Structure 1
Amino acid sequence: MTTPLRRSLGVPDAVVIGLGAMVGAGIFAALAPAAGAAGSAAGLLTALGVAAVVAYCNAMASARLAALYPESGGTYVYGRERLGPFWGYLAGWAFVVGKTASCAAMALTVGGYLWPERAHAVAVAAVVALTAVNYRGVQKSALLSRVIVAGVLAVLAAVVTVSFAGVPEGGPGLGGEVAAGGVLQAAGLLFFAFAGYARIATLGEEVRDPARTIPRAVPLALGIALVVYALVAVAVLLVLGPLALAHSPAPLADAVRAAGSSRLVPVVAAGAAVAALGSLLSLVLGVSRTTLAMARDGYLPAGLAAVHPRFRVPHRAELAVGAVVAVAAATADVRGAIGFSSFGVLVYYGIANASAWTLGRRHRPLAVLGLAGCGALAAALPLASVLAGAGVLAVGVVAYAVSRGRPAPPRP
């Protein structure tokens, strides 16, 4: 019999974990490359809206499915149950691979802000520390996420306030041409900053009353994140303009500096590091739970399905994920990891929307819009990211064809 995880998370904790995954390093890092792709302030804000619409469709699909299947694994479970074992496996593979790259990017962001000369070493240390926190139980992780989210929101509020107060007369404004291709690529890059709401769904086995909690928590977390992102994007654009933003390695720090508040630059840098820690914490939670689900079904080593008898967490899966992320953080490049991660996660949510389509006519309009949006954003990403992502997915398909997995064990 499979040992169940402990159900300890209510709506506030679930919202905080989702926010911890979204309102993180993405907003500190994704604005610059997205501005470069969009080409104008209007294009960037349009891209933010497009990314939000696709994220909303994905969020509603995930919430509805999670209420029906309150198990660890997220779309891995939904694809398996609604579309068949192969699609569940492909979703799980895309999620684990894509989010492992995302974990490495977040860890490297921590290192880059705290100690640039030793960024890789700091990144590995961050992975080890947060793996230890997760090992002690999801409730402790939720508590740490609440502290991190509060600190990051305070820093972002300071950036917005200072930037609006320091907008120069005759500044760049929010206009400009809007090119469809640039908007789609920018939206694909900005999607990286949104792709955290489903962390709530992947923790379905640890949520109290999932049929009520998950559908409330997912859109609430997404709505809060969208408001925060829109305020930050407008404030930074008004101070720096799209061209300076596109070339800035630290756009939020440059914004407060340009607004005449250089003393806040170290605070913003610290906030970015804390935000990356929050994202990393939630990401490792989600990847380890999907790893647990795939191990239960025989697609990954059976030992990874073990649940700690005291802490009731998938401790072996967490240790394995932590080890892989630590190796990636010691060797990876941040920008390449972001594009690769976005491709894998968009494939994952495409399968979520396809799964939601099977729930009935009432759910199909959003599911179709979400599926089309995921496909469009994935195809619009930089070519290197598309090719690398497609190659890794092909490896997963070959592995599935060779092994076919073990027969699913009886569930409790």
Structure 2
Amino acid sequence: FGITRVVICLVVANHIVACGWYSVGWMAEDPRGSWIAEADLESRSLTYKYMTALHWSLTQFTPASMEVSPRTTYERIFTVIVILFAMIAFSSFVSILTASMTQLQHLSSNESRQFWLLRRYLRDWGVRRAVGKKVQRYLEYAYAEQKNRVQEPEVRLLSLLSEPLRVELKHETFSHYLAGHPLFRQCSEQARAFGKALSATSLASNDIIFACGEQARMVTFVTSGALEYCVGLGPDDSPHAATLVKREHLYEGMWICEAVLWTEWHHVGDLVAVTECQVITIDAIKFSDDVRGNLRLAQALRKYAHKFVLNLNMVDLDDLTDLASQLFSPLDAIDLDDFAGFSSFADLEEERPSLTSCCHYLYQRLRGKRPTTPSPFSMPRRRRSSRSSF
């Protein structure tokens, strides 16, 4: 990206120089003695004249030559100025290109060495070929994802954030996926209350997320990849019934095991990763602890939980599944009046300081500079109405 930006700047600079070079020749005191007349361009089209001027400009920035040369004093002065500027610009471009290529080679060699060490480790410790391929395939996927998206540990500046801002940042990065659930979409900004319960996890192909009979501990939202869920067999089911079990696939925006948030729950099926994927989980215990601190949200969720459990109890035992959304819609348990007083994201956008302004303010303070903007932590906030207070 840095090289592309420099190339675009050079193209724009050459365009400006080409226009200036043509203007110097066109405004000469004696038009017959200018470079335009010497190159016999009077009868040529404007496009040909521009391309000739651009060609001349490019030769000043690179070690090349052409038949066009300065003929008047002003043209000579303009040429000297352009050469001095081009010398600095071209040298900077070469240094940036060299540094970028060196960095790229270093990253490539480091990547090759790490995977070479991985293969040697698997071989030296006698890891079975199937397991070794699975490990290598997942690490290749995880490494590619790390290069495509900046990870939180790579941004050391984030460690300076206060705990409330850290929770808010986590909520902002995960809210896009949580909004697929009608309940969390209604919670809006109040969903920040359980930001500590959120976490992101990467899974390898064929990883087992949970098995039938295990005690449930978290809700899982799929953000990329695919998961496969199948209901477990009962003790009275025949072996032939295993071939008739319907398998459900979960993709981005889907969730599973919501019931653990509202009642004690044991998994009634198996969940396995079909491909390498990433998921967001909500820890049920942390969720419960965090929500209790927000009275208004706790009241609304308590009513939702009561209706959810009532709907769940109406389902026949043989039809139970961890995919509660297939048994009944979450909208059936939502009372919009309970969430009517919650502020939306757009309502609070102007009144709260942005994360970018907070990070910039902290960075200036650490560098010992006088901040150019007032502290976002001391900005006055709109007073909450009694309707939206906790």
- The structure that has the greater radius of gyration is 2
Bigger RCO of structures 1 and 2 (CA < 8 A, at least 6 apart): 1
Q: Same-fold call, TM > 0.5? A: no
Hey, which of these two has a bigger chunk of helix by percent? 1
TM range (shorter): under 0.3
Hey, which of these two has a bigger chunk of strand by percent? 2
